[in-house]
Amino acid sequence: MTKRQEACLSDPPFWFRCINQSCQKEFDISRKLYQCPDCSDLLDVVKNYSSIDVPKLKKLFRQRRASNDPLDISGVWRYREFLPFLEEDLIHVVTMGEGNNPVLETPRCAEYVGLKRLRVKHLGWNPTGSFKDYGMTVAVTQAKKLGSRVVACASTGNTAASMAAFCARANLRAVVFIPEGQIAFGKLSQSMDFGALTLQIQGDFDVAMDLVQELSGETDLYLMNSINPFRLEGQQTVMMELFDQLDWKIPDRIVVPGGNLGNSSSYGKALMELKELGFIDKVPRLSIIQASGADPLYRTLLTSSRDLVPVKNAWTLASAIKIGRPISWKKAVRALQFTDGWCDVVSEQEIADAKAVLGRDGIGCEPASATTVAGLKRLMELGQSLDHEVSLDPDEDVVAILTGHQLKDPEYTVNYHLDNLYQHATYENRLMKKSGKLTSTFANEPIVVPPDKDTIISMLDL
């Protein structure tokens, strides 16, 4: 046994580490932390891999796919050796069989983009219809392990739906902070149906996010947004599941929508760990695509700024990525640097058309997901117009990540195909006739509140 292996026997298996290179402080993982207490930067979960048998683990992952054990059925917990939990912690796991989302061929999209072949991994086939379930099963499990009673998130819809569902399973109280009037009904309906207390904050997503962060720091509220490192640990398993499905033949490029940037950040961290441990021998380039009206990461990279260049009053019909101040931007930059990737932007028209082309391949998705196909087409056009360092080659092996289900925002799809889709519009939805009133015995109506901490603390009895 080497000295390093001997030392590892006494080291903790997991801990937090600040991502700030000038800080790098480490903290006990059992603490309720989301940011570094010293410098307020983001935290990573660091794992102590003292020894690992790569071929043996790959074989074990594949064997578990034939098992009916709930942990093995899950496309997240199947890869539990990469999650920050000990064997005895697994009694706290809250799972609904999340993951197991397919990799699909998209010949019409490939032709539209200009690629010889294009595959998509559709994370919208999760229990609540979005990629958030990969991270939420892990974050809610940690909340349960810590003995939390109330958890919360700011959300444009998908995070709220996922958190509400997993908290219902775990018997935790879920509180959702949403920007008033800025959420698709398909997503709002989920939070209400799953029993979450939905607070419509008078302000945009960034106002809601600031508020829930402050409350989680001052009360017992446990924060479930992607600033929570456990969320990203769960989302990392998307890469493991993808490569497992591809028999560990690594694609040249992976394309992902960019909103709050937790997903792309988690993929970057997974690729770092998998490369370091010898699971993969090459690193795919990561391409992050943002909407042109909500493109803070793109602006930051374009100006080579050391600080985030936020977008005030961010706007896009792709509501899942309508975020002007993404929390995980530093981790996303790190992911792009490690993978030699880039961030680009697409217009509302490009998103809408790409979504319709995906539909022609029999694949429905929410608008934010379609940014990937739209972004690939843009990258291909860049390569044809000039010698662009981030351009796309027709022969590349590409996998695009679709993050949400089509039925998250059905109005968008219907309005597009009825030639009635506008960047800015107010659609009227009112009752015309009524009879046979039903009683809403278990009604769970959203509450409109001002962005005031004291009011909310009193309301939640925190």
| Interacting residues of 335 by C-beta distance below 8 A, sequence separation 6+ | 264, 265, 267, 268, 269, 271, 286, 341
How large is the average pLDDT for residues 399-410? 94
Predicted local confidence at residue 6, as pLDDT:
37
Question: Is the pLDDT confidence value at 174 over 60?
Answer: yes
| Interacting residues of 57 by C-beta distance below 8 A, sequence separation 6+ | 81, 279
Q: How far apart are CA 198 and CA 459, in angstroms?
A: 12
pTM of the predicted model, to two decimals? 0.92
Neighbouring C-beta atoms of residue 4, cutoff 10 Å: 10
Q: How far apart are CA 229 and CA 208, in angstroms?
A: 19
Among candidates 121, 403, 146, 372, which has minimal Cα distance to 263?
A: 403
How do beta strands 14-18 and 26-28 pair?
antiparallel
In the chain, DSSP finds a helix count (H) and a strand count (E) of 16, 14
Predicted local confidence at residue 458, as pLDDT:
86
Q: How far apart are CA 364 and CA 404, in angstroms?
A: 9
How large is the average pLDDT for residues 209-233? 92
Question: Is the pLDDT confidence value at 249 over 70?
Answer: yes
Structural domains of the chain in order of their starting residue, each with its CATH number: 1-48 (no CATH), 103-127+234-417 (3.40.50.1100), 132-228+445-460 (3.40.50.1100)
One-letter amino acid of 256: V
Predicted local confidence at residue 258, as pLDDT:
97
Predicted local confidence at residue 432, as pLDDT:
82
Q: How far apart are CA 360 and CA 362, in angstroms?
A: 5
Question: Is the pLDDT confidence value at 164 over 70?
Answer: yes
Predicted local confidence at residue 10, as pLDDT:
52
Question: Is the pLDDT confidence value at 137 over 60?
Answer: yes
Question: Is the pLDDT confidence value at 86 over 60?
Answer: yes
Q: Identify the residue with better confidence: 286 or 431.
A: 286
Predicted local confidence at residue 384, as pLDDT:
61
pLDDT band at 178 (very low <50, low <70, confident <90, very high): confident
Compute the CA torsion angle 356, 362, 365, 369 (nearest 10 deg): -70
pLDDT band at 4 (very low <50, low <70, confident <90, very high): very low
Predicted local confidence at residue 18, as pLDDT:
97
Question: Is the pLDDT confidence value at 422 over 70?
Answer: yes
CB contact at 8 A, 242 and 399? yes
The DSSP call for residue 92 is: G
Predicted local confidence at residue 391, as pLDDT:
77
pLDDT band at 183 (very low <50, low <70, confident <90, very high): low
Q: How far apart are CA 174 and CA 131, in angstroms?
A: 19
- Quote the percentage of the chain above a pLDDT of 90: 77
Predicted local confidence at residue 3, as pLDDT:
35
Predicted local confidence at residue 272, as pLDDT:
97
Question: Is the pLDDT confidence value at 8 over 90?
Answer: no
How large is the average pLDDT for residues 113-121? 97
Question: Is the pLDDT confidence value at 385 over 90?
Answer: no
Question: Is the pLDDT confidence value at 319 over 70?
Answer: yes
Q: pLDDT digit string (tens) for 294-309?
A: 999 999 999 999 999 9
Question: Is the pLDDT confidence value at 181 over 90?
Answer: no
CB contact at 8 A, 184 and 192? no
Among candidates 120, 93, 92, which has minimal Cα distance to 246?
A: 120
CB contact at 8 A, 236 and 336? no
Q: How far apart are CA 396 and CA 115, in angstroms?
A: 7
* Helix, strand, or coil (residue 441): coil
Q: Exposed e or buried b for every residue in 323-354, given b needs 16+ CB within 10 A?
A: bbbbbbbbbbbbbbeebebbbbbbebebbbbb
How large is the average pLDDT for residues 114-136? 97
Question: Is the pLDDT confidence value at 186 over 80?
Answer: no
Q: Which of 43-52, 91-100, 182-191 has the highest mean pLDDT?
A: 91-100
How large is the average pLDDT for residues 205-215? 87
Predicted local confidence at residue 184, as pLDDT:
66
What are the phi and psi torsion angles at 176 (to 5°)?
A: -110, 130
Q: Identify the residue with better confidence: 199 or 250.
A: 250
Q: By mean pLDDT, which of 101-115, 262-276, 373-387 is the weakest?
A: 373-387
The DSSP call for residue 183 is: S
Neighbouring C-beta atoms of residue 118, cutoff 10 Å: 26
How large is the average pLDDT for residues 72-92? 97
The mean predicted confidence, pLDDT, of the chain is: 92
Chain centroid to Cα 293, Å, comes to 20
pLDDT band at 394 (very low <50, low <70, confident <90, very high): very high
Q: How far apart are CA 262 and CA 225, in angstroms?
A: 9
pLDDT band at 390 (very low <50, low <70, confident <90, very high): low
Q: How far apart are CA 260 and CA 368, in angstroms?
A: 12
Q: How far apart are CA 82 and CA 346, in angstroms?
A: 34
3-state helix, strand, coil in the chain (%, to 5): 45, 15, 40
Predicted local confidence at residue 113, as pLDDT:
97
What is the end-to-end Cα distance of the chain in Å, rounded?
A: 51
CB contact at 8 A, 242 and 121? yes
Distances (CA, A) of 23 to 37, 40, 43, 308, 442: 11, 10, 11, 19, 50
Q: What is the CA radius of gyration of the chain?
A: 22
Among candidates 265, 270, 272, 283, which has minimal Cα distance to 238?
A: 270
Q: How far apart are CA 143 and CA 360, in angstroms?
A: 41
User: Tokens 């990561």, residue?
Assistant: 286
Q: Which two tokens stand for residue 335?
A: 């992911």
